[in-house]
Amino acid sequence: MKNLFLISVICFITLVYLTTGVIGQEIGEILVGGNMADASAWNVSNLDSKELTEYEFNDTFETPAAGAGGCLYVRGGTVQNTQLLIWQPVTLVAGGEYTITGAFSDLTGGNLANFWCEILVSTEVPPDTDGVDYGGVRMLGFNSWAGCGNNVDGTFQDDGCLGDTGGILTVPADTSETVVYYFCLNPGAWSADAPATGSLIEFEIAIDELSMIGPAVSVDVKDRPGARVSHFQLRHNYPNPFNPATTIPYSLEEESHTTIRIYNMLGEYITTLIDQKQLPGEHSAVWDGSDFSGNQVNSGVYLVRMEAGGFSQSQKILLVQ
């Protein structure tokens, strides 16, 4: 039975590769923490807000709006303008096509006005200070000036209204094998009577299941300590699924004590691949499927967790014996 199961898994994976038309390249989830239960992969900027907006990751409700598990809760009010930019860098394959979806719920009962909540993508680095505006290509508009995706029934819809590109991002093919984009969620509100005597605009929303599906980076990234890198990032391992070993690339923005550890899906510690101070640049670690005692672990899904310089990120990998 075990062998039959493994054969079925391998056949399924092969079918996925063949039907995607991308040979030797995994089609999978690019975002980290898109279920909005873990804030560690996300950065938050207040942009040019005159009043600050409240937000909470992994928030749960005693209503159908929450669905299963936590979500991102956002609440704000303004007599001028307020907006958030919640973002993370993603490394994409040049020429690749990526489908963006998400779930949105209006918790005000359909009273949203002068409000927007959009997904933007851009190659421009988001501001790391408040008080600056930011633009990008609009991929989805959960709610916009036209009322797109208002969703007043108290449950999450499957996705927002399609944006300027129909929810599809096609990365230009150029001489680079990969390119860094910034995936951004941008909720905000503006009072038509701003700046000083405006009517109070309030909003209360929930966001969940943000997703970006497409070809994952699978090029052979060589260690390049000292190479110029603009951010910390744990990249997709290759091959995945793997047997007997897989390479796990990662980037360090600055010199940092770095750890790369493996856990099972119960959160139990398996082994440590990296635990040392490293220079900024491109690095990689290799896992051969063994635990800290050198014993081979069973087939299954495992978690790789990277911590460096206050940054942390996790991703799933699949071992098939």
Q: What percent of the chain has pLDDT over 70?
A: 72
Q: 115 in helix, strand or coil? A: strand
How large is the greatest C-alpha to C-alpha distance in the chain, in angstroms?
A: 72
User: Tokens at residue 11, please?
Assistant: 């056949």
pLDDT digits (tens, 9 = 90+) for 140-161: 777 665 555 444 334 455 456 6
Are 159 and 137 contacting, i.e. CB atoms less than 8 angstroms apart? no
Residue 12 has φ and ψ, to the nearest 5°, of -65, -45
Confidence of residue 292 (pLDDT cuts 50, 70, 90): very high
Confidence of residue 271 (pLDDT cuts 50, 70, 90): very high
Task: Look at the pTM and tell me if it is higher than 0.95.
Answer: no
Domains of the chain in sequence order:
27-215 (2.60.120.260), 224-319 (2.60.40.4070)
pLDDT digits (tens, 9 = 90+) for 64-83: 444 556 789 998 888 778 88
pLDDT digits (tens, 9 = 90+) for 173-196: 875 678 889 999 988 887 765 455
What b/e string do you get for 3-25 counting C-beta neighbours within 10 Å, with b at 16 or more?
eeeeeeeeeeeeeeeeeeebeeb
End-to-end CA distance of the chain: 14
What b/e string do you get for 55-84 counting C-beta neighbours within 10 Å, with b at 16 or more?
bebebeeeeebbbeebbbbbbbebbbbbbb
